[in-house]
Amino acid sequence: MTVQPGQPLTISCKVSYSITSLHTAWIRQPAGKTLEWIGYIHNSLKNKFSISKDPASSIVTLTGQSLQTEDTAVYYCARIDIQSLYYLYLFCCHCFFLSA
């Protein structure tokens, strides 16, 4: 997926579990760097991201605003067990941003 700098990004994650009873997290990993926690449902991190869910279709959506080339990363949607913080399910979407 390619997005121009400054443009919004929307990534949807269709899951096979109940998003009304389990939490879904968003994590990203820029090339050559460690994983970065973006946030989980009900909690958006770094004002540029928001997270929403549609229980009827089992879709969790990450929306990013005014993203720049430094936001280029592999983005993961993960089902999490809040008690153990053990990631049980991963979904990957490669996101590349063009230079201005």
Domains and CATH numbers, the chain: 2-97 (2.60.40.10)
What pLDDT is recorded for position 22? 73
What pLDDT is recorded for position 66? 84
What pLDDT is recorded for position 10? 92
Q: Quick one: how many helices (H) and strands (E) in the chain?
A: 0, 9
Burial 20-52 (b: 16+ CB within 10 A, else e): eeeebbbbbeeeeeeeeebbbbeebeeebbebe
What pLDDT is recorded for position 32? 92
What pLDDT is recorded for position 40? 60
Q: What is the pLDDT along the chain (100 residues), one digit of tens a residue?
A: 788 888 888 999 888 887 777 778 788 888 999 888 887 654 444 578 888 888 899 898 999 888 888 888 889 888 876 654 544 445 545 454 443 3
This model's pTM is above 0.95: no
